Each structure stands twice: as structure tokens, then as C-alpha cells.
Structure 1
Amino acid sequence: MFELRSNPDATVRADLLSGLTVALALVPEAVAFAFVAGVEPMVGLYAAFLVGLITAIFGGRPGMISGATGALAVVMVALVADHGIQYLFATVVLMGLLQILAGALRLGKFIRLVPHPVMLGFVNGLAIVIFLAQLGQFKVQDATGNWVWMQGQALYLMLGLIALTMAIIHFLPKITTAFPSSLAAILVVTGLVHGLDLDTASVVDFVRAMTGDTTATLEGTLPTFAIPAVPLNWETLTIIFPYALVLAAIGLIESLLTLTLVDELTQTRGKGNRECVGQGAANVVTGFFGGMGGCAMIGQSMININSGGRSRLSGASAALFLLGFILFGAHLIEMIPIAALVGVMFMVVLGTFEWSSLRIMGKIPKADAMVIVLVSAVTVITDLAVAVFVGVVISALRFAWEHATHMTAKTHINEQGWKSYQPQGPLFFASVTSFLDLFDAKNDPEEVIVDFRDSRVADHSALEAIDTLAERYLREGKRLHLRHLSAECRQLLDKAGDLVEVNLLEDPDYKVATDRLAG
């Protein structure tokens, strides 16, 4: 059913080291997103482990990393605040079922409808979101408990360690690729901080600051199965279904777009529908084991790919390493300086942002440039689902407008004196006006042919436009002959009656009027 070693170009060593690197970076992200959602850190860590493991094994994209994400957390916070964490677990289960249904209905293919400018905007927007999320690490609590920006020596030390981390990640691959540069940077900076006893925040300091508990730790136990403690009635469904629907949509959009990005980076192709089912199954299980649910993570996926992870083993090992840290090695993770992880994420930002999109702004249509900027901005201001929806709608409206205004027709008079119109371009709701303006029913000869060889009749508005055209010629006492119509025009044939002629000798493949020939 699955293979952990699904990519022949990957190596076990590269996948395991990459998985370790990803696991280290997952810890503060999962804790931070749990804090955003208003739940305990372990709820985020359990989600990172369960979602990461199940999607790595059963999902549609080897090498892609999934876990608790900020895009979902910002939606969950209102549910948790109003109804409590048990309703969140029930919502995560329902979210997973909706995602499985989407995969079963093969809705993953609709990610192909996302235009390239929207993809660029999505990538740039997420890069900005990842960058902004790291800025919170530059704040500390003052004596009154308020969060203030770092100043003086603490700030300079933080910036220096981040710069060192980024330098190692950048330059080490130029010397050797035998060891993941991100993992090397984390180990070197951690050793430097503790070897020189430098006073800078570590992961455990971050956890305690987030929770307000000076004794908080990342040490935990295995997640346990429990049915969400909510009433199984219609009222519960009315509460959780809207949240589940939104979360399922956001999770699938982010996962499928990240899948597309990883496809481009690795020059391979994932399976969108399988990813929908894998994400859904992961969330169903996570809801029953006390996790906050999740989806694909572009930042961690980039770390994995850049560190050499290519197969399912890399994602599975990242999840298992994370579980190992929770059960046995919490003290090792807690000592990692936050500066090292921020440096890793800054390099992810630099690698994720499509810098080429800035260079091509003046060379592409203004509408495409506007879509890139708009999707990036909306991703930062609201969330990914809204941004992609806005980008697709604007791109679709632009497409409709351009094709509506570009409807033309070739005309000529044949040897019988009949005038032939050959429309060029799709006939649909936006182009019907331009289509009707092409014809001159009053001055045309008695017999007129409309040849749809180079035109596609796309919707009901197009059929109505053809019927309107036929009525115009009927009022003038003239005959209209329609040729090369598709099967979608059968209802037009029935409505227009004897007025419409379909040249079946020229259109043998359409098989439009078999019953007419028989009668």
C-alpha cells in the first residue's frame, strides 16, 4: 500500500538526518501555534506527531511535512474560547471526514484551476507570514509582565547568533553536502551558547513564556485515545460544522498548493486526491488522540527538501524523532537556543520567497502583477483560503473579460450566395453580447450559416444567445443554419425546431441527432 523508500534518488541517511532537522524546527512552531489556538503546548505537539506521521506514510506527496499550522490555529481560537477544547477535538474529527470525502470525490484535481500568479502570491505571502511569525522571538517580558522588544546586548547577541546560523546554512553546502546544513547550524550554535555560557533564550524559555508557567516542560507521554466529550446531537453539529468546513478547506488548499510547490522543486509529481484522503485520515485520528489537527507546512517542507529529504521516510522519521523528544529527550530540545531556530526559519523565508516575481513585475500583464501583490497581501492580512479564493476569482473575471471582448468571426459568401459566419473564441455568458453584435440579420442574404468549428459553446447563456440569433433571422424571414455544434446544443435543436439545421454529414463525430435521423 505504501513504501517508506518511495524515491530511488533518496538515501536512508539523508532522510533520517533531514527528519531530525525538521523535528527540531517543529517543536517551537507547534508550541506557538498551540498558543495561538488557545490550547496547551502538548496539544500542538501531539498534532505535529500524529498528522506528520500519518500523512508521511499515507499522503500523496513523499517529502512533504505536515503538522499543526498557524493558518488553522487562527480559526480554532474562537471555537476554543467559546466552547472549549473538547469541541475542538470533535471539529478536527469532522474536518478530517470532510477532507476524506473531498479526496473520494477526486476534488484534488481542482488545484489545477489555481493560476500561476496566484501560486506566486501564495508563496510570497507565506514567506512573509513565516518571517513575521519569527519577529515575536525578539520580544521579552519586562518586570510588569508586558512584552517589549529586545534592546542592547540581548538584541545584539540574538542577531549575532541568527547571522551565524544563516551563514552556516548558506556556506556549508559549498564545502560539503554530506551533512544537512540546517542541522549542523543548530548543533554548532547550541554548542557555542552552552560552551560559552551565553545568556540567550532557549526553547524551554520560550515554552514557559508562552504558558506563563515557570516550571513548564516539553516532556510528555504517549497520546491516548478518547472520544471527544461533547453531546452527540444536532446542536453540537451546528456548532462544529461551520468551523470544520472552513478548516477542511484551508487545510486542503494549503496542502495542495504546498504539494504543487514541492513537485516543482523536486521535478516529481504528487497525488492530490491521495493527499486529501491522507490529510483527512490524519485529522480524524488526531481528533481522537487529543491533537489540534493540521495540514502541510511549507516552511518545514522546505527545510526537509533542502536538507535532502525526498522519500516518505523523511517525514515519518521527523514525526518519530519528535515523539522521541517528547518521551525521552525533552531536556535536549529545551536547551536549543531560539536564535538558531529563528535563523533556520529566516533561511526558509529567503528560499521560499519568489524573488523572480519582483523582477518580472514590469514584464507581465498588469492584471497578473496585481494578482501576485493582492494574494500576497491577503495571505498576510487574513488567511490562505481567502487569498487563494480572491486570486482565483479575479483571474477568472479577467479571463472572462478578455475572451468576451476578443470574440470575432470570419465571414465569406459561398458559391450558392449564402453568407457564412465562423466565430472565433469561446461562446459563454461573458461573450454573448459580442457574439450577437457580429451579425447583421437585416442586411444578410436569405440563407446564413454559422459554423462553430473554431468556437466552443460553453454554457446555457451561449445556447440562449444562439436561440436569440435564430429568432432575429426568423423575424426577417431568413433561414439560419448551424454547423459543427456539440452535443450540448441538443436542447437548442429541440427549442428552435425546423429553424435549425445541423449538418450531420460534416459532423459525424458529434452524433447530435440520432433520433431525428431515425424519424
Structure 2
Amino acid sequence: MFNLQNYSTQNIKNDVLSGAVVAVALVPEAIAFSFIAGVSPVVGLYAAFIIGLVTSLLGGKPGMISGATGAVAIVFVSLGLNVAELHPNLDREALSMMILHYILLASIFAGMFQIMVGVLKLGKFIRLVPQPAMFGFVNGLAIVIALAQIKFFAPSNIDQLNSWSEIVLASFQEHTLMYIIVVITMLLMHFLPKLTKAVPSGLVAIVGITIIVFATGAETKLVGELADLSNVSFPSFVMPDTSLFTMDSMMIIIPSAILVGLVGLIESLLTLSVLDEMSGTRGSGNKECIAQGIGNICSGSFGGMAGCAMIGQSIINYTSGGLGRLSSFTAAVLLILLVVSFSDIIAIIPVAVLVGIMFMVSIGTFEFSSIRRIKYMPKSDAFVLIAVTVITVFADLA
């Protein structure tokens, strides 16, 4: 828990403003990861709110951001395929609802597994990860974060194009304004902190460019085009489907839950280690395991899917000045308030602004020093660094 009496006015301001930046940036991320998992965007938004709220209060690292992630969503893709095989006679709508109930129950079981890991104090073993592996993980995540933005620039007629040169040319012609907004956002985020750090540069970019685009009527892709957020309400308790407590269903749910729990803890504890280096302070791995577990149980119980720490959003928070629990708490609370009460405002934010922010996060995340060091490393360390980078990219652990 956090105590406002321990905060200075400057720290409160920094945490609240950085939390606001993260809250806005979380919306398209949560929507995108919901699509990956094959569920409604509401499921990802609830996960971002609930897991983010729980870990902000109970987590092992102040300021770390948690929510729905690609790494966990990918596990749910295979779960969905197994559910479809087990229930071949369901129509599309009924199958989607059935998959959701499997995901909710798997999320709860994953949380129980994570709490067990924390109680047994097994989280400390992540500290044994060698530095080359850590560099590889961070570099891989930076690449994944950047690659995840490319889809927003795909031309509408991409299926009719025969070469990469045609795709690139069509993309520039169709999304010229998006490219311009991305560049302006990146320039703002790079140069504004050198002039003033009174307000996070990401927040200035989001508010300023949104106002300009709205006032001029410029045509560019908006957050509202990614999903309909008009019917989002506050999460409510969802009773687990008791019909899933059969041997066949459990044979799907339990392995998926364990895999989700492991993937979530690995990414969360590695993210914690990255933030330890950035902040110069040491977080508690075991405490984070328990917090992630409680967060996933609560998420699955209130209609959200499992998740874990988010490296990109956590770095946005830290670089925007959010170093305390109030920042991640603000991000979680503002997220749900924005999508429930101010969905019309969220809907008009240009996607390109958020893409520009994520590109800057990618650049800031990549350990460029590791490229210089690699020629001085033992061959075994260099191999580990490169191998972990490649595995992280192809496993899409963002």
C-alpha cells in the first residue's frame, strides 16, 4: 500500500500525470491483446484495470504497470483451439462465450499457481538470470514493441500487392498523415523533456495532437475505430461455469493455467529486474508473484483475462516520472473511468500518437550498449544474448 503522507507535492504530481499517460496508452494495448486472445475488448480492458489496481497496491515494485499482455494472450489462443475441438457442434457465438468461460477459469487457476510460487519463495530464482539473457530479453521486447506497431500502417489493399516495395509505397500514400503524426510525437517526446519536465511529454503529445486533429477535421485512424467502447461498464462478479469442472475440460484448463502462470511470472519478474536497474532500487520478487496471483484471480472472477507486468507501459511510467505506487494506481483507476465515462473522448485520440509513444518506448528499451559489448563478451555469453533476443521476438513476449 502507499501512504500519501510520504509523498511530496512534486512526487504526487509526477505520479498522477505519468499515470494519466499510461492510462491512455493502455486502451489500445488492452484492445489489441483481447483480439489476439479471441475475446471481446472489454475482457482486456477489465484485466488492465483489475490486475493493474491489485498490483499497484500489493506488488513488489512501486510504479510497475500490469495488465493484459501479448505473451499471455498467445497462450489463450491455443486454449481456444482446444476448446473448439472439444465442442465442435457449437455455433460461433456460443463457442466464443464458451472460450471466454474457459479463459476466466484458467485465469483464476493461474493466479492460484502464482500465489503458490510466491508463498514458497521461488520468485527469487529469477535473480539467477545472467546479464546476457537479461539484455537479450530487453532487446527482444524492444523489437517486439516496435513490430507490434507496424500493423497500423498496413494499406487496405495489401492482399492485392505483390512485393514489399509496393506495400511500402501504398502505405506511405494511404497513411501519410499517420507517418507525420508519429514523427511529430517522437520529436515532442525527445525534445520536450530537455525544455521542461513539468508535464510528461507523452501527455502533451496525446492532448495537443488530438486537439489539432479534432479541430482541423484531419482524417486519420482513431482509437474508436479499433473497437466500440460505448457499452463498457464497471466490472461485476462472474460466477465460474460449473459445467467446466469435468475431466475433459480440466485437461485443457489446468495445463493452460500453469503455462499462463509461468509465462506471466517470468515476464513480470524480468520486468521487475529491468526496473530495478533503471531505478537503482530492489523490488521483491516473491511479493510480486503473490500480487500477480491475486490480480489474476480477481480478474478472472470479474470478467477479465489473466495478465502480467507490461515492460513497455512500465517504462513509459518510469520515464514520465512515475516512480511510486500512486502512478500505477492512477493508471488503473483512470483507465476504467476513461472507458466508462469518457469513451467519446478516448475514441477521438489518433492511433498514430500512441504508435509514436510506443516507438519511443522501443528505442528507450533497447540496450544499445549491448551491441558495443558483444564483441568483448565470451562467445557463450554472446550466443545467449542473441538466442534470447531471437526467442523473445519469435515468441512475441510483449
TM-score, reference length from structure 1:
0.70
Equivalent position to 1:193, from 213, 237, 240: 213
Tell me by how many angstroms 1:237 deviates. 2.3
Alignment of 1:424-463 (within 5 A): none
Match of 2:362 among 327, 332, 349: 349
Distance 1:119 1:52, change over 3 A: same
2:103 aligns to what? 88
Question: Residues 260-300 of structure 1: CA distance to partner in whole angstroms, max 9, x if unpaired?
Answer: 11111111111110000000000001111110111000000
Which residue pairs with 1:155 in the alignment? 175
2:273 matched to 1:260?
yes
The Cα of 1:141 is off from its aligned counterpart by: 3.3
Q: What's 2:335 paired with? A: 322
Q: Does the Cα contact within 8 Å between 2:15 and 2:322 map onto a contact in 1? A: yes
Report the Cα distance in structure 2 between the residues aligned to 1:119 and 1:68, rounded to whole angstroms.
22
Give the Cα–Cα distance (whole angstroms) in 2 for the partners of residues 152 and 18 of structure 1: 32
C-alpha offsets along residues 64-87 of structure 1, whole Å, 9 cap, x if unaligned? 000000011111012124321111
Shift of 1:4: 4.7
Q: Does the residue aligned with 1:375 lie in a helix, a strand or coil?
A: helix
Structure 2 residue aligned with 1:121, among 128, 136, 141? 136
Give identity over the alignment, percent: 48
The 1:74/1:143 distance shift into structure 2, 3 A limit, reads: closer
Residue 203 (structure 1) aligns with: 223
State the AA in 2 paired with 1:56: S
CA contact (8 A) 2:175 2:220 kept: no
Q: TM-score scaled by structure 2? A: 0.90
**Residue matched to 1:26:** 26
SS of alignment partner, residue 264 of structure 2: helix
Q: Residues 167 and 327 (structure 1 numbering): CA distance in 2 closer, same or farther, change over 3 Å? A: same
Equivalent-residue separation in structure 1 for 2:289 and 2:5 (angstroms): 19
Which of the numbers 361, 384, 402 marks the counterpart of 2:374? Answer: 361
Change (3 A) 1:254 1:143: closer
Instruction: Please say if 1:139 is aligned against 2:151.
Output: no
Q: Does structure 2 retain, via aligned residues, the 8 Å contact 1:219–1:328? A: no
Unaligned runs of 5+ in 1: 208-215, 386-519
* Partner Cα distance (1:348, 1:143) in 2: 28
Equivalence for 2:117:
102
Number of equivalences: 375
The one-letter amino acid paired with 1:92 is S
Deviations, residues 477-514 of structure 1 (Å, cap 9, x unaligned): xxxxxxxxxxxxxxxxxxxxxxxxxxxxxxxxxxxxxx
Question: Matched residues in 2 for 1:203 and 1:6: separation?
Answer: 37
Decide which of 201, 211, 220 is 1:181's aligned counterpart: 201
Alignment deviations for residues 315-353 of structure 1 (CA, whole Å, 9 cap, x no partner): 011010011012100011110001000000000000000
Conserved? CA contact 2:72–2:260, under 8 Å: yes
Which amino acid is 2:128 matched to? L
Between Structure 1 and Structure 2, the one with more helix by share is 2
Q: Deviations 1:368-421 (Å, cap 9, x if unpaired)?
A: 111111100011112559xxxxxxxxxxxxxxxxxxxxxxxxxxxxxxxxxxxx
Instruction: Kindly state the Cα deviation for residue 188 of structure 1 after the two structures are TM-superposed.
Output: 1.5
Look up the match of 2:384: 371
**Residues 299 and 359 (structure 1), Cα distance of their counterparts in 2 relative to 1, 3 Å cut:** same
Q: For 1:283 and 1:7, how far apart are their aligned partners in 2?
A: 29
Partner of residue 59, structure 2: 59
Higher relative contact order (CA 8 A, sep 6+): 2
In 2 relative to 1, CA 7–36 (structure 1 residues): closer, same or farther, beyond 3 Å?
A: farther
Moved beyond 4 Å, runs of 4+: 4-10, 142-146
Q: How far, CA to CA, are the matches of 1:65 and 1:152 in structure 2?
A: 34
Equivalent pair of 1:4/1:57 in contact (CA under 8 Å): no
Deviation at 1:5, TM superposition (A): 4.5
Gaps of 5+ in 2: 84-98, 162-166
Contact 1:5 1:312 (C-alpha < 8 Å) held by counterparts: no
In structure 2, how many angstroms separate the alpha carbons of the residues matched to 1:78 and 1:297?
21
Write 1 or 2 for the structure with the bigger share of strand.
Answer: 1
Q: What is the distance in 2 between the residues matched to 1:31 and 1:5? A: 32
Bigger Rg, which one: 1
Among candidates 210, 220, 224, match of residue 236 of structure 2: 224
